[in-house]
Amino acid sequence: MGLLKKIFGTGALVLTLSGCSDIDSQLGIDVDKDGKKDLVECWYDNAVFLGSWDLYLAKGNGDGTFQESEKIIHLENEPTKLHVEDLDGDNVPDISYVVFGQGKNWGSWYMYLAKGNGDGTFQEPIQIRRYKTKPN
């Protein structure tokens, strides 16, 4: 279940989702700066060989309805943490998430950052942290 926190002093909203698990999960936040709440969604697609975790964006119409979801980020694995907030001080929401490493990264947890462009698109995620144990 998502957790909405208000960071006191800065007024910045932070949306946090802990683990997408086996259910589809959504976070509501305006990522394209049009004043309408959008949905960042975490989906698991078991139709893909060995399954696939992806983040999608459904842009808000401002009347409680949303446009068709579009894939914005492919994930290595199921995210255990997902945040949508401005992390670099440019007043544009960014996406950060934590996944368990695959392949050569197996055995550790990694945090990635996808910087927002302000129009509902995001830059390619970059690894920003490594954890030897699952972060809280």
How many domains does the chain contain in total?
Answer: 1
Domain assignment of residue 136, yes or no: no
Residues 114 and 94 sit within 8 Å (Cβ to Cβ) = yes
Residue-number span of the structural domain to which 53 is assigned? 2-131
Q: What is the pLDDT of residue 40?
A: 93
Return the number of other C-beta atoms located less than 10 Å from residue 47's C-beta: 6
Tens digits of residue pLDDT in 44-89? 888 777 778 899 999 999 999 999 999 999 987 888 888 899 999 9
Q: What is the pLDDT of residue 120?
A: 94
Domain assignment of residue 26, yes or no: yes
Domain assignment of residue 65, yes or no: yes
pTM for this model (two decimals): 0.76
Tens digits of residue pLDDT in 87-128? 999 999 999 998 887 666 667 888 999 999 999 999 999 999
Q: What is the pLDDT of residue 105?
A: 64
pLDDT band, residue 3 (cuts 50/70/90): very low
The CATH number of the domain holding residue 69 is 2.40.128
